[in-house]
Amino acid sequence: MPKVIVNDIEVEADPKDNCILAARKAGVEIPHYCWHEALSVVASCRMCLVEVGEKKPDGSVVMGPKLVPGCQTPIKEGTIIKTDTPKVKTSQALTLE
pLDDT of residue 34: 85
Domains (range + CATH), the chain: 3-96 (3.10.20.740)
| Residue pLDDT, tens place only, 38-58 | 777 878 889 999 999 998 889
Under a CB-based contact definition with an 8 Å cutoff, are residues 58 and 38 in contact?
no
Q: What is the CA radius of gyration of the chain?
A: 13
pLDDT band at 97 (very low <50, low <70, confident <90, very high): confident
| Residue pLDDT, tens place only, 77-96 | 999 999 999 999 999 999 98
Strand positions, DSSP E, the chain = 3-6, 9-12, 49-55, 61-63, 68-69, 79-82
* CA–CA gap between residue 69 and residue 1 (Å, rounded): 22
* CA–CA gap between residue 22 and residue 3 (Å, rounded): 9
* CA–CA gap between residue 24 and residue 83 (Å, rounded): 12
| Residue pLDDT, tens place only, 2-40 | 999 999 999 999 999 999 999 999 999 999 888 777 777
